[in-house]
């Protein structure tokens, strides 16, 4: 017994030692390893070895089983191996001779650029007689001189021409809370990449008098009545009189060398904002007049303010000096100011022409000296040193130091009142006019941009070019228009195109472009005008799907139903099926190296024409499919045919080799093909993205890898080796790089997506409607316009955006840190606020102020909508966040400690910025203070000591009791042991019998599952009749009461989703009876009408159940469809049908009675529908919408199911299956599945 005591005592001490060690380890912290960079934006593409002999059984992308391709003959396509082939030669004697039709001259020629005006050579040039110029010497003016003064609006007399001390007035400034900016909008008529911002997007006013881009890239808009707004692409921050601005009408803005902003207002003088406070300069503080129309900072840092009636006020940081008519200024209303390269100042006045001030004398230039008008609204000095004066009614006068040259409406200017001027980086001049929009002058022509071209308003008050080359145009009533001249230009019927839908494009040897349209024939574009060729002029058909110029200069037009028309410049020659063509709808044309012409047709395979005879290659001759959408000849002379459903067929002159999903292709419908400069072949597919084939492997690029859409309609390589793909969701610019690293090859790529907010008018591009012309311009055809991108001007941003922090919210509250309340100021500690931003420096917070929201921004005006952010909280996280467009990070319940918040930005360049870092501290609560922890430790040691002493005494006492109890218990334990052994033997025997029974039951259920699976339609049957479809089938148990059913019958396909009473084994037994009833109704009774089928099935099911002696109430709910072309018949028992058309869900209610024994049975109603292209049909059981889940464990409900289906209509059916399944699993979470689930979706594709 003594040994037992020592054992317990030692065991207790060991436990206490372990406890103290654990407490010590818990108090220690180890530094976590932090990732250096965020996760890559794009994953590496999936690669598949080309597997021509064994063949894949699953699609590399979807994971679906690959079904054999069935030819028209009923045979399966043999792919992956060469197949000898001989084309079918059409003897000339068996066909008609081609028809020659003299080409009628086109009716009219349409000017493509009616907004471009060539400047005449006989410009008005007026020499300036420098000897006759009015020059006024500014003498030194004594302080006591009484002649040089002005009386301001306060009635005070102010000295002019001498320095006057200024007492600037600092104003209490409050921080405005930023408001979210909505994306810029396009006008419907815009033909250029011109967007606009107005009050609907968050602007404070529609009238923008002045614009400035500051050193950080933020844009400041001075408005009439709305104050000044700072815009960073994500938010607007409005500064008004409420925040400290002197007046809400801001006429002029300048940023000085120190980064301070100066706002000239109408009636409020000048407000200087240093990023923290406003300082006012008005007549009280020494300004000559409170309406400041123009501001300039000179080379020495002095500021010059042009006022409305007070002349010019020069401010050197301490004093004002005023210059008026008395000092030699030509007029006291100074509308515009420029300092030229020589340091001379040019003051544009209201009625006094221009005054030039060289520091000593004023020289006047008026109409008398050759100026076109004496009211000078705007001035700019160009790169050559010429001065351009925008006048009120006299157009623009250019002064080169010797002569004035006038540009008015007569010379091509859009309007003679020029409110603003800017010279862009390329040397073009932009003139903002009053009512004529903006006119761009390139030295030879004026190009007008008005509301017709997409400008938001025709009165342009201010213009600024940002660092990315975009022009920001402040208008009078239309907010700000943003023009990016480096991206897309569009041509429509308004510009002279014969039809907006451009199906095919080619450039001829003379540099003319030919556009085949849908219904408008062909439009020929010579760079200035469009000329139309239609059936009237001799074309065989007005829908032109493909165009080729052959080596002899003849043009071949492949049409929709009219065969091929060959045009030699004088006559059209038509080739149709009568003349030997295999089909009259020609999707693609190619001329091979031998001069043979190949025509890819719809349904007729390929026709080869050698100038005398046609040779046909169809499925009979070995082609994989008779619809050939694209043709390419590779460098080795092999021909590649992209087919609709048969993959890609390679023809080497003797054999066909077919490449399909089985060989590693992503999808069997190949819309477009390209061979790049490296010899790689690119296949654009319908639903499988793009597959790049290097002769050994297929590399796939899909939406997952960053592609805009998985249907790739055209592929083109530009002169830089960049790949351009048009899809159903825009354009993708693809840069694929293979670089050698040591002995391995490193693959990298970047993708740049272009959509409507990048300047596209439409995104419904047509297959293979693309051309790179000789001037390095790419042309695409879409359903809304012809789109052109000039690669000579185009250039994506090469630098990452600079990211910065804007503000920090604490506990979900916006805080003005410069005007913090006393109560909050007593809780948080910081030593300043960042200039121009709203976040504190060196922030220290109490433990309960631990919910922080960081708002940040990055500027890249080349594509601000593409900027993504990634952030990390060092001290809390070890990995960067997923890149996101959202410009904020929210952290709740941060533990106490010191943290470093970091954020990165990535834009169009694909390069991450340098991180912005912000460090702050959250203090622990008092109970975690060091003195408190010391007291906790001492108390714990005292408790341990007391506990050990108490436990020791207790063990000694217990030792004596145990000696007696052990003797008494020994006998009882021996008896209990024998009884336990007897019970164990009995339990082991019973467990063995139960385990055997359980195994037998599971075997039976699994066998039942195989039987039930056998009666379900096979995937091959489903895809054969419903190619664009999915079936989501999720039994609750091993076997199910839900099932799906399909039966082809008399040219139509019947399919259904059914739910039998119960689930598991009982439900499965009922499903077999109901499935059999459906089969018998169709096969034995020949029924095809859904209502009649359900009536007969109910009769059969009731008969089967009546064989039982018991009253069986089981039955079936079902939704049954009969689809024949675009005709759909449907009947339902308790389950509805949903049809989604044009983003609207149409629900048809079922009969409210199950298939089975019911009171008062009624016949089932058959509903008929006429379907349209793109309609989606959904039938289902109740398991999906009745599933419990989500945060509150509620049912999913039909309303949420409808929203889910409506939200995924742009996705393929395979993708819909994936999304719906994932939504179900996420909703269910850790809860048990309630019922069997069956959902069937079918997309209607009419042929």
Q: Is 619 exposed, middle or buried (0-12, 13-18, 19+ CB in 10 A)?
A: middle
Q: Which of 844, 871, 845, 877 is nearest to 857 (CA)?
A: 871
Residue 904 confidence (pLDDT): 96
Other beta carbons less than 10 A from residue 147's beta carbon? 8
Please say if the pLDDT value at position 639 is more than 90.
Answer: yes
Chain segment 27-39, per-residue pLDDT in tens: 444 455 667 777 6
> Quick one: what percent of the chain has pLDDT higher than 90?
66
Section 875-891 average pLDDT: 94
Residue 992 confidence (pLDDT): 62
d(CA 459, CA 1083): 75
d(CA 74, CA 81): 20
d(CA 129, CA 402): 8
Please say if the pLDDT value at position 775 is more than 80.
Answer: yes
Q: Which helix (H) or strand (E) holds 643?
A: strand 639-643
Section 912-918 average pLDDT: 95
Please write down the HEC assignment for all residues of 30-99: CCCCCCCCCCCCCCCCEEEECCCCCCCCECCCCCCECCCCECCCCCECCCCCCEECCCEEECHHHCCCCE
| CA angle centred on 589, ends 588 and 591, rounded to 5° | 155
Q: Which of 201, 205, 203, 242 is nearest to 225 (CA)?
A: 205
Residue 25 confidence (pLDDT): 42
CA–centroid distance for 1131 within its chain: 41
Min mean pLDDT across 182-191, 533-542, 571-580, 970-979 is at: 970-979
Domains 83-89+491-790 and 124-236+243-486 equal at CATH topology level:
yes
Between residues 167 and 834, which one has the greater pLDDT?
A: 834
Residue 1071 confidence (pLDDT): 81
CATH architecture of 83-89+491-790: 7 Propeller (2.130)
Residue 46 confidence (pLDDT): 76
d(CA 658, CA 78): 8
Chain segment 178-231, per-residue pLDDT in tens: 999 999 998 887 888 899 999 999 999 999 999 999 999 999 999 999 999 999
Between residues 110 and 905, which one has the greater pLDDT?
A: 905
d(CA 358, CA 341): 12
Other beta carbons less than 10 A from residue 572's beta carbon? 23
Torsion, Cα of 1195, 1197, 1200, 1201 (10° steps): 110
CATH architecture of 124-236+243-486: 7 Propeller (2.130)
E strand map for 1126-1213: 1127-1133, 1137-1141, 1144-1148, 1155-1156, 1167-1170, 1176-1180, 1188-1189, 1194-1195
Calculate the average pLDDT of the chain. 88
Confidence of residue 148 (pLDDT cuts 50, 70, 90): low
Q: Which of 237, 238, 234, 218 is nearest to 183 (CA)?
A: 234
At 1111, is the secondary structure helix, strand, or coil? coil
Tabulate helix, strand, coil % of the chain (nearest 5).
20, 40, 40
1017-1243 to CATH, choices 3.40.50.1950, 1.10.3720.10, 3.60.40.10, 3.40.50.1000: 3.60.40.10
Min mean pLDDT across 362-366, 662-666, 973-977 is at: 973-977
Chain segment 681-740, per-residue pLDDT in tens: 999 999 999 999 999 999 999 999 889 999 999 999 999 999 999 999 999 998 876 655
**Do the bridges between strand 1137-1141 and strand 1144-1148 make them parallel or antiparallel, or are there none, so unpaired?**
antiparallel
- Residue 850 has, within 13 A of its CA and on its CB side, a CA count of 17
Residue 569 confidence (pLDDT): 92
Residue 152 confidence (pLDDT): 72
Section 607-615 average pLDDT: 95
d(CA 774, CA 479): 39
Residue 16 confidence (pLDDT): 45
d(CA 889, CA 806): 12
Handedness of CA 8, 14, 16, 18 (dihedral sign): negative
Residue 953 confidence (pLDDT): 77
CB neighbours of 35 closer than 8 A, spacing ≥ 6?
872, 878, 879, 880
CB of 1221 within 8 A of CB of 1032? yes
Please say if the pLDDT value at position 658 is more than 90.
Answer: yes
CB of 713 within 8 A of CB of 672? yes
d(CA 792, CA 340): 32
Between residues 266 and 128, which one has the greater pLDDT?
A: 266
Q: Which of 1215, 1209, 1218, 1223 is nearest to 1175 (CA)?
A: 1209
Between residues 586 and 1022, which one has the greater pLDDT?
A: 586
Chain segment 481-495, per-residue pLDDT in tens: 999 988 999 999 999
Q: Is 155 exposed, middle or buried (0-12, 13-18, 19+ CB in 10 A)?
A: exposed
Min mean pLDDT across 277-286, 815-824, 886-895 is at: 815-824
CA–centroid distance for 300 within its chain: 46
DSSP assignments along 870-932, one per residue? EEEEETTBSSPPPPBS--EEEE-SPPSEEEEEEEEEE-TT--BPPPEEEEEEEPPPGGGSHHH
Other beta carbons less than 10 A from residue 992's beta carbon? 10
Torsion, Cα of 657, 662, 668, 673 (10° steps): -50
d(CA 1137, CA 359): 85
The domain locations on the chain are 2-28+930-1010, 83-89+491-790, 124-236+243-486, 802-928, 1017-1243
To the question of pTM greater than 0.75 for the whole model, the response is no
d(CA 376, CA 365): 11
Buried b (16+ CB within 10 A) or exposed e, 825-862: eeebebeebbebbbbbeebbbeeebbebbbbbbbbbbb
- Residue 320 has, within 13 A of its CA and on its CB side, a CA count of 26
For residue 679, give both structure tokens. 């010899």
Q: Which of 1124, 1129, 1224 is nearest to 1179 (CA)?
A: 1129
Chain segment 83-137, per-residue pLDDT in tens: 888 777 877 777 777 777 777 777 767 777 777 888 888 887 888 887 877 777 7
Report the DSSP beta bridge partners of residue 691: 683, 700
Residue 926 confidence (pLDDT): 85
Q: Give 279-283 contacts, CB < 8 A, sequence gap 24+.
A: 279/168, 279/169, 279/170, 279/171, 280/168, 280/169, 280/171, 280/246, 281/166, 281/168, 281/169, 281/315, 282/169, 282/246, 283/152, 283/153, 283/154, 283/156, 283/158
Residue 47 confidence (pLDDT): 75
Min mean pLDDT across 797-801, 1032-1036, 1215-1219 is at: 797-801
Residue 738 confidence (pLDDT): 60
- Angle at which helix 1198-1207 crosses helix 1213-1228, to 10 degrees, equals 140
Confidence of residue 17 (pLDDT cuts 50, 70, 90): very low
Between residues 26 and 477, which one has the greater pLDDT?
A: 477
Q: Which of 1158, 1139, 1159, 1162 is nearest to 1149 (CA)?
A: 1139
Between residues 993 and 263, which one has the greater pLDDT?
A: 263
Section 563-581 average pLDDT: 95
Q: Is 499 exposed, middle or buried (0-12, 13-18, 19+ CB in 10 A)?
A: buried
**Do the bridges between strand 261-265 and strand 250-255 make them parallel or antiparallel, or are there none, so unpaired?**
antiparallel
Residue 190 confidence (pLDDT): 83
Report the DSSP beta bridge partners of residue 319: 165
Q: Which CATH superfamily is domain 802-928 in?
A: Immunoglobulins (2.60.40.10)
Section 56-72 average pLDDT: 82
Report the DSSP beta bridge partners of residue 699: 47, 692
CB of 392 within 8 A of CB of 375? yes
d(CA 321, CA 304): 9
Please say if the pLDDT value at position 1210 is more than 70.
Answer: yes
d(CA 1116, CA 280): 82
E strand map for 783-867: 786-790, 802-810, 844-845, 852-859
């Amino acid at each position: 017994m003594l040994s037992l005591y020592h054992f317990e005592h030692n065991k207790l001490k060991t436990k206490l030692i372990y406890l103290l060690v654990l407490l010590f380890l818990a108090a220690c912290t180890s530094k976590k390893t932090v990732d250096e960079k965020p996760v890559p934006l794009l994953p590496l593409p999936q690669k598949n070895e080309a597997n021509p002999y064994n063949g894949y059984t699953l699609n590399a992308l979807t994971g679906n089983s690959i079904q054999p391709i069935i030819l028209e003959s009923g045979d399966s396509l043999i792919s992956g191996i060469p197949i000898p082939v001989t084309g079918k030669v059409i003897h000339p004697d068996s066909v008609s001779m081609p028809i020659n039709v003299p080409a009628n001259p086109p009716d009219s020629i349409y000017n493509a650029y009616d907004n471009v005006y060539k400047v005449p050579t006989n410009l008005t040039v007026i020499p300036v007689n420098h000897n006759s110029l009015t020059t006024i010497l500014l003498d030194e003016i004594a302080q006591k001189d009484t002649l040089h003064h002005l009386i301001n609006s306060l009635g005070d007399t102010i000295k002019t021409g001498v320095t006057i001390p200024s007492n600037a007035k600092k104003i209490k400034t409050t921080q405005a809370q930023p408001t979210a900016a909505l994306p810029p909008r396009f006008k419907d008529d815009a033909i250029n990449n011109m967007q606009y911002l107005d009050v609907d997007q968050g602007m404070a006013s529609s009238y923008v008098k002045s614009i400035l881009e500051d050193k950080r890239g933020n844009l400041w808009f001075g408005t009439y009545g709305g104050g000044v707004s700072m815009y960073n692409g994500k938010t607007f921050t409005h500064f008004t009189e409420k925040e400290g601005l002197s007046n809400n009408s801001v006429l002029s803005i300048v940023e000085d060398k120190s980064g301070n902003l100066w706002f000239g207002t109408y009636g409020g003088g000048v407000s200087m904002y240093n990023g923290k406070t406003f300082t006012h300069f008005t007549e009280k503080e020494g300004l000559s007049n409170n309406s400041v129309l123009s501001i300039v900072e000179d080379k020495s840092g002095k500021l010059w303010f042009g006022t409305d009636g007070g002349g010019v006020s020069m401010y050197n940081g301490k004093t004002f000096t005023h210059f008026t008519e008395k000092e030699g200024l030509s007029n006291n209303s100074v509308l515009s100011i420029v300092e030229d390269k020589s340091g001379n100042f040019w003051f544009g006045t209201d009625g006094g022409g221009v005054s030039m001030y060289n520091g000593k004398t004023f020289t006047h230039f008026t109409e008398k000296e050759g100026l076109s008008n004496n009211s000078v609204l705007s001035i700019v000095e160009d790169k050559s040193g010429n001065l351009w004066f925008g006048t009120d009614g006299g157009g623009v006068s250019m002064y080169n130091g010797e002569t004035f040259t006038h540009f008015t409406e007569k010379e091509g200017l859009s309007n003679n009142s020029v409110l603003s001027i800017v010279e862009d980086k390329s040397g073009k001049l932009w003139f903002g006019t009053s009512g004529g929009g903006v006119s761009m002058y390139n030295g030879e022509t004026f190009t007008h941009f008005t509301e017709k071209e997409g400008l938001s308003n025709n009165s342009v008050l201010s213009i600024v070019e940002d660092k990315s080359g975009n022009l920001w145009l402040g208008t009078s009533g239309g907010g700000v228009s943003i023009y990016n001249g480096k991206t897309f230009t569009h041509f429509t019927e308004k510009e002279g195109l014969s039809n907006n839908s451009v199906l095919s494009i080619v450039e001829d040897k003379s540099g003319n472009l030919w556009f085949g349209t849908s219904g408008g024939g062909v439009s020929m574009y010579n760079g200035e005008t469009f000329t139309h060729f239609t059936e009237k002029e001799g074309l065989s058909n007005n829908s032109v799907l493909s165009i080729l110029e052959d080596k002899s200069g003849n043009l071949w037009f492949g049409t929709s139903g009219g065969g091929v028309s060959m045009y030699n410049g004088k006559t059209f020659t038509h080739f149709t099926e009568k003349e030997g063509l295999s089909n009259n709808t020609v999707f693609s044309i190619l001329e091979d190296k031998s001069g043979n012409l190949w025509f890819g047709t719809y349904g007729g395979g390929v026709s080869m024409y050698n100038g005398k005879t046609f040779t046909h290659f169809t499925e009979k001759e070995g082609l994989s499919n008779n619809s050939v959408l694209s043709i390419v000849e590779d460098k080795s002379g092999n021909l590649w045919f992209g087919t609709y459903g048969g993959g890609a067929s390679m023809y080497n002159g003797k054999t066909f080799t077919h490449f399909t999903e089985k060989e590693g292709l992503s999808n069997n419908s190949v819309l477009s093909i390209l061979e790049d400069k490296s010899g790689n072949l690119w296949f654009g597919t319908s639903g499988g993205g793009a597959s790049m084939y290097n002769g050994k492997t297929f590399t796939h690029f899909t939406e997952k890898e960053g592609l805009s859409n998985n249907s790739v309609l055209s592929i083109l390589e530009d002169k830089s080796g960049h790949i351009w793909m048009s899809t159903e969701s825009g354009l993708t610019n693809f840069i694929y790089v293979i670089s050698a690293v040591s002995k391995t090859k490193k693959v990298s790529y970047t993708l740049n997506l272009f959509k409507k907010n990048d300047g596209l008018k439409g995104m419904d591009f047509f297959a293979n409607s693309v051309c790179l012309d000789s001037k390095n311009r790419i042309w695409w055809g879409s359903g809304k316009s012809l789109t052109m991108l000039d690669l000579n001007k185009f250039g994506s941003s090469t630098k990452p955006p600079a990211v910065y922090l804007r503000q920090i919210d604490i506990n979900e509250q916006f805080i003005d840190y410069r005007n913090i309340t006393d109560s909050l100021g007593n809780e948080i500690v910081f030593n300043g606020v960042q200039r121009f931003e709203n976040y504190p420096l060196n922030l220290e917070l109490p433990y309960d102020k631990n919910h922080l929201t960081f708002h940040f921004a990055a500027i890249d005006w080349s594509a601000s909508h593409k900027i993504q952010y990634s952030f990390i909280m060092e001290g809390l996280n070890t990995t960067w966040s997923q890149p996101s467009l959202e410009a904020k990070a929210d952290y709740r319940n941060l533990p106490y400690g010191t943290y470093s918040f970091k954020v990165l930005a990535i834009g169009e360049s694909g390069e991450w910025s340098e991180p912005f870092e912000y460090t702050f501290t959250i203090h622990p609560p008092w109970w975690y203070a060091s003195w408190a922890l010391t007291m906790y430790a001492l108390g714990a040691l005292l408790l341990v000591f007391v506990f050990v002493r108490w436990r020791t005494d207790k063990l000694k006492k217990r030792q004596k009791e145990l000696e007696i109890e052990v003797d008494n218990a020994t006998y009882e334990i021996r008896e209990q042991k024998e009884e336990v052994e007897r019970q164990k033997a009995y339990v082991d025997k019973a467990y063995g019998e139960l385990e055997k029974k359980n195994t037998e039951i599971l075997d039976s259920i699994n066998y039942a599952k195989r039987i039930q699976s056998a009666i379900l339609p096979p995937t091959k049957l489903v895809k054969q009749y419903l190619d664009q479809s999915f079936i989501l089938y999720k039994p609750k148990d091993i076997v199910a009461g839900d099932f799906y059913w399909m039966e082809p019958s008399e040219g139509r396909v019947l399919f259904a989703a059914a739910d039998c009473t119960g689930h598991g084994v009982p439900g499965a037994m009922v499903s077999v009876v109901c499935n059999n009833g459906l089969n018998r109704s169709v096969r034995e009774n020949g029924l095809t009408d859904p209502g009649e089928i359900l009536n007969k099935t109910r009769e059969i099911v009731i008969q089967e159940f009546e064989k039982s002696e018991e009253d069986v109430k089981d039955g079936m709910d079902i939704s049954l469809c009969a689809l024949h072309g675009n005709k759909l018949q449907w009947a339902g028992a308790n389950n509805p049908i949903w049809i989604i058309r044009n983003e609207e869900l149409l629900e048809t209610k079922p009969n409210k009675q199950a298939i089975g024994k019911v009171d008062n049975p009624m016949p089932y109603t058959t509903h008929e529908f006429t379907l349209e292209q793109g309609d989606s049909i959904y039938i289902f059981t109740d398991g999906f919408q009745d599933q419990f889940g989500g945060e509150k464990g509620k049912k999913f409900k039909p309303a949420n199911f409808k929203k889910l289906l409506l939200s995924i209509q742009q996705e393929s059916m395979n993708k819909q299956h994936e999304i719906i399944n994932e939504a179900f699993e996420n909703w269910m979470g850790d809860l048990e599945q309630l019922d069997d689930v069956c959902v069937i979706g079918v997309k209607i594709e009419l042929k």
